[in-house]
Amino acid sequence: MLPKVAGTVGVALAVLVGCGGADAADAARADVQRVLDRRAEAVLDRDATAFRSTEAPTGSVQGQLATGTAEFENLRALPLTSWSYHLNTFRRAGDRVTAEAALRYRIRGYDKAPVTAVRTLTLTRADGGGWRVASDEPSKKGTEQLWEQGEIRAVRGEHSLVLGVGQAERSLRGYAELADRAVPAVTRAWGEDWSRRVVVLVPKSLDGMAGLLGAPASGYRGIAAVTTGETGGSAKAPADRIIVNPDAYPVLGAFGRQVVLTHETAHVATRAHTGAATPLWLSEGYADWVGYRSSGRTAAEVAPELRRAVAEGRLPDALPDDADFGFAGDATGLARAYEGGWLACRMIADRWGEVRLNEFYRAVGEHGRRAGAVEGALKEVLGTTLDEFTARWREYVRGQLG
């Protein structure tokens, strides 16, 4: 599943005057930035002593998810090629500073550009006059990071990196094997114009998954996995993360687990061509089409809920709307939406060919805005209209499931 995600985080400069005037505020800001620079260097160097030198005494601020030192230990297994803090807002009140910063980091071999996590930091003045970090937490604009939930364990596959918390290495190895099969399957369907590598995050619990997504756990209870990232990104955009629901995913059979991970990998591959113009019936339908492409499963086997609706005389009048894909809605209706999108993409592949299906997907995404995107791509790539396509799809659904 591809959730809605925020775009690139910008750096907003705040003009804040401390008790000593603008010059003193600027000097304090520069001092804090230097502390954060030393903190980042310590993370990259895996230097625990240097990291602790940037920390305020334990218990300076209550309520943080874990002590900074614990988080430093938790992320030791994360293969990093960059880590930096960039101050956004800055507020000083005497010997205390509250700041928002963009933490930017890259995983070695996977991220072509930094992933950004927005952090809220509290710093206090040490006895010697220098600033020290008392808390480092997700801001209201950000989400938890995996290392805040516990010690990370990393398993590398041929095409994948699996990062888990509270998971056995054997379990993580299983995810890597599934991802290593998913990547070439997606490449065979979509082509080679993507990274052909995936990062899979496996938190300890559903609550951990929700924390990584910054959303209530109730909305993801029955969702096996989701993909996060920046829609419409360039080739230099940060790599996506496939986040697994450790409660729902293991319940699936071997076939279902592979389909889900291949589906999510398809979202990674198509990310640069998925944007505001792309309806969910196309992005989710295409990902399902890739997931089931070589399975040999029939339409009736893949689309049981839509088949039941057709049997009851409830043939859909139109392609699924974005609202039909809401997690909080009716589970049966959500299943029909996925099945309807899948059958639309399957129909394009059957009638116009797989090459045209890929061209259609790209053409819709390149439109830039929703209005007219599907209509234009239908005309340019498939030589049809939305009304004709919808009518053909309804007959296809009836023919495949009736």
Query: Per-residue pLDDT tens for 147-175?
Result: 999 999 999 999 999 999 999 999 999 99
H/E stretch holding 399: helix 386-401
pTM of the predicted model as reported, rounded to 2 decimal places: 0.88
The CATH number of the domain covering residues in 143-270: 3.30.2010.30
Which one-letter DSSP state was computed for residue 57? Answer: P
- Give the β-pairing of 152-156 and 131-138: unpaired
- Return mean pLDDT, the chain: 89
- Specify whether domain 22-142 bears CATH 3.10.450.50: yes
Q: Tell whether the torsion through CA atoms of 6, 8, 9 and 10 is positive or negative.
A: negative
Q: What is the pLDDT of residue 58?
A: 66
Helix segments in 276-353, DSSP class H: 280-292, 299-302, 304-311, 331-351
pLDDT at 13 over 50: no
CA–CA gap between residue 391 and residue 317 (Å, rounded): 9
Mean pLDDT, rounded, for 322-326:
91
Instruction: Read off the tokens for 1.
Output: 């599943």
In degrees and rounded to multiples of 5, residue 122 shows phi and psi of -115, 130
CATH 3.10.450.50 positions along the chain are 22-142
Q: What is the pLDDT of residue 127?
A: 75
CATH 3.30.2010.30 positions along the chain are 143-270
**Most distant CA pair in the chain, distance:** 78
- Distances in Å between the Cα of 378 and the Cα atoms of 49, 97, 388, 389 are 60, 55, 10, 8
pLDDT at 8 over 60: no
